[in-house]
Amino acid sequence: MFKVSWEKTSVTYQLPDGMLEKMVSLAYPDQKLTSFELIAGGCANLNYKIWLEYEDHPLILRVYLRDKTAAYREQKLAALLKETVLVPLTHYIGELEGHHFAITEFMLGLPLRDLLLGDDPHDLSAIMYEVGLILSKITAHEFSEAGFFDKELKIIPHSPSDDCLIFAKDCLKHETVLSVIASDVITKISQVLNHYNRLFPDKNENHLVHAGFDPANILVNKIDGLWKVSGVLDWEFAFSGSVLCDVANMLRYAHKMPPEFQNAFLKGLGSGGVTLPKNWHMTIQLLNLLSLLDCLKRSDPKRGPNQCAGIVELIDHILSALNNMQKIDRVEIKPYDANWPNIFEDEAIRIKKALADNCIAIHHVGSTSVPGLAAKPKIDIIVVVQDLFFDKSQLEAIGYKYRGGFNIPLRRCFTIRTADKNINLHIFEENDPEIELNILFRDHLRRHPEARDEYALLKYKLITEESSHEKNDSIYRGYTLGKHDFIQNILKNSGFNKHRFVLCTHTAEWAAAKNLRDTYFFDPHGIDDPYTWTFNHEEHAHLVLYQGTEIIGYAHIQFWPDQRAAIRIIAIDESKRNQNSGSNLLVFIEKWLLTLGIKSIHAESRKTSLRFYLKNGYTEMPFNNPENHESDPKNIPVGKVL
């Protein structure tokens, strides 16, 4: 465990006789090396504890065998971190006869690994909580982008070959990997990587990653009878990326440790302000799989049989763990839990305090708000605010992560995903129709047990159907969309008739959008819609306007450079015109675009102009197309039908 049995660099590599003395003489020409001691713990580099003449404290002489520029990174990272994290400072960096080395501060203590595996009494929870807090301080350092560091800590952006899936599959083709891992296991690994590729961390994350954050690289020392962290060593492979890389390293052997090893570590991490994403437990298994394949590729089965055997054992565990997690993490419908309202009440108090006077009301909605209804164990909360554009750090300070608006443009969503909390916040301004919609549906199910039970059966049916599919990537999407007709029917019978607009997601919304485009723009000219490719293009947004449960309008927005947007098409069904529907849709669009930071809104048509409200008042906007990103075929109309 913790790589204790792996072959060490000190066994497989030795410095030539007299080389250590020459290195010390180069660094300290006026001092002599009086004694030295090989520290046999490293798997990548050589480390010597050295004593110099006239010095009271020893130093560490570190020989870099893999990355020749690593010493410079370690030196600069130590300077960056010294105020918040105990790290050894580098005193000298040199090169002698092809050997790259550094002399650093010696830090008192023994590796946490030795304490955990030894017989000395210790408080495991207290130590691991401190380790979690330290990692929160490390990951708090951010850089301009994700990537590897050069010797000056400048970012080298990731290349296409650094893609996790590409990198892993390259490892699987390596001769050493193929010689050590059985062919059927290679196939399983490839299948797992393809299936869970979406769960690798966001490539844009830019936090400081230690890249070797495990018990072997953390020193502890006994102070006043208590074991405390006294240093974090070995920063040579640090980079800018996701904190999950370090979480993966620390928890690689958690399955062989008592539960408090992982639980206290995660608690400390959370106390330091780090909120782990949903499916983090699966992501760290994937990251460990990637790291182990890379390590195996660089191994020598003849010189390191224990290391290869340890890697294979860990890979088998990861494959088994991912298989079990897949079963657990599918959408689960659970019987009603009487504690769900209590969780809501407790969270509502925290939210009100965080948002202060901006918070008008808080509602428990969704399935967990209906007594007796089986549900996914996620608490959905609607927060009504005066100002939708509050500082999101108010909620981030209490553990929430901002998620955007998803398919509802004038909504701000936040979530908490921890071991004891699974909460979705939906933030709306006062009088937003989405508030009434959710409360109407909730109250209908509360008043009608037969509808509640029918809804529960529908959810179980959808889960069964989705889980039977070979591919489960779209299980959440299919589950959500599958409830659409049931919800719409209840809203229709309730008399809900307000205007609301959403980004197209459901098949019915895309069909309505296509119908409105064809009916008012393309069919009259006898041509097929040439722009359906924009339905899946990131520079284009397609929205529909509901009146109650009926789709009565449509808009196509194109995003231009320099924070500009164009209203390419806006249409209201002919039977619904002259009822302020078009005006309402324009107000919705304008407000949404302003939330995105759009500075100018261009409305396009060859014949008319559109007057609508911008931040500083009413503005007459001529319908023009100064920089048309779609080359319009002759006689194809682009504009509005209100």
Report whether pLDDT(241) > 60: yes
Report whether pLDDT(613) > 60: no
pTM of the model: 0.54
Neighbours of 156 (CB within 10 A): 13
* Residue pair 602/564 in contact by the 8 Å Cβ criterion: yes
Q: What is the mean pLDDT of residues 337-349?
A: 95
State the Cα–Cα distance between residues 426 and 428, nearest whole angstrom.
Answer: 7
State the Cα–Cα distance between residues 411 and 437, nearest whole angstrom.
Answer: 14
Residue 334 DSSP symbol = B
Least confident of 83-97, 440-454, 555-569, 608-622: 608-622
Report strand pairing: 379-385 vs 422-429: parallel
State the Cα–Cα distance between residues 184 and 176, nearest whole angstrom.
Answer: 16
Cα 333 → chain centroid: 25
Give long-range contacts, CB 8 A cutoff, 24+ apart: 621-626.
Answer: 625/566, 626/602
Q: Tell me which amino acid residue 530 is.
A: P
State the Cα–Cα distance between residues 545 and 571, nearest whole angstrom.
Answer: 10
Top pLDDT among 578 and 291 is at 291
What are the backbone angles phi and psi of residue 360, rounded to the nearest 5°? -95, -45
Report whether pLDDT(618) > 70: no
Q: What is the 3-state secondary structure (H, E, C) of 445-498?
A: HHHCHHHHHHHHHHHHHHHHHHHCCCCCCCHHHHHHHHCHHHHHHHHHHHCCCC
State the burial class of residue 369 (Cβ atoms within 10 Å of its Cβ: 0-12, 13-18, 19+): buried
The pLDDT tens digits of the residues spanning 480-506 come to: 556 778 888 899 888 899 999 999 988
Give long-range contacts, CB 8 A cutoff, 24+ apart: 526-535.
Answer: 527/633, 527/636, 530/633, 530/636, 531/556, 531/630, 534/558, 534/630, 535/504, 535/510
pLDDT confidence of 401, banded at 50, 70, 90?
Answer: very high
Per-residue confidence (pLDDT) for residue 9, from 0 to 100: 65
Written as six digits, the tokens of 551 are 């789709």
Report whether pLDDT(326) > 50: yes
Q: At what angle do helices 305-329 and 280-297 cross, to 10 degrees?
A: 160
Cα 442 → chain centroid: 31
Structural domains of the chain sorted by starting position, each given as residue range(s) with its CATH number in brackets: 9-105 (3.30.200.20), 110-329 (3.90.1200.10), 340-470 (3.30.460.10), 499-641 (3.40.630.30)
* Residue pair 623/605 in contact by the 8 Å Cβ criterion: yes
pLDDT confidence of 331, banded at 50, 70, 90?
Answer: low
Give all strands of the β-sheet with 401-404 in edge-to-edge order: 359-365, 379-385, 422-429, 412-417, 401-404
Report DSSP letters for 60-124, one per residue.
EEEEESS-TTHHHHHHHHHHHHTTTS--PPEEEEEEETTEEEEEEE---SEEHHHHHHSSS---H
Report whether pLDDT(616) > 70: no
Top pLDDT among 617 and 308 is at 308
Q: Tell me which amino acid residue 620 is.
A: E
Residue 7 DSSP symbol = P
Q: Express the helix, strand and coil content of the chain in percent, nearest 5 each.
A: 40, 25, 35
Per-residue confidence (pLDDT) for residue 449, from 0 to 100: 87
Our CA angle for 471, 413, 279, nearest 5°, is 35
- Tally helices (H) and strands (E) across the chain: 20, 25
Half-sphere exposure of 100 (CA within 13 A, CB side): 11
Residues 6+ apart with CB under 8 A from 247: 135, 269, 276, 280, 284
Neighbours of 495 (CB within 10 A): 8
Least confident of 174-178, 305-309, 452-456: 452-456
pLDDT confidence of 625, banded at 50, 70, 90?
Answer: very low
Report whether pLDDT(242) > 60: yes
Per-residue confidence (pLDDT) for residue 42, from 0 to 100: 62
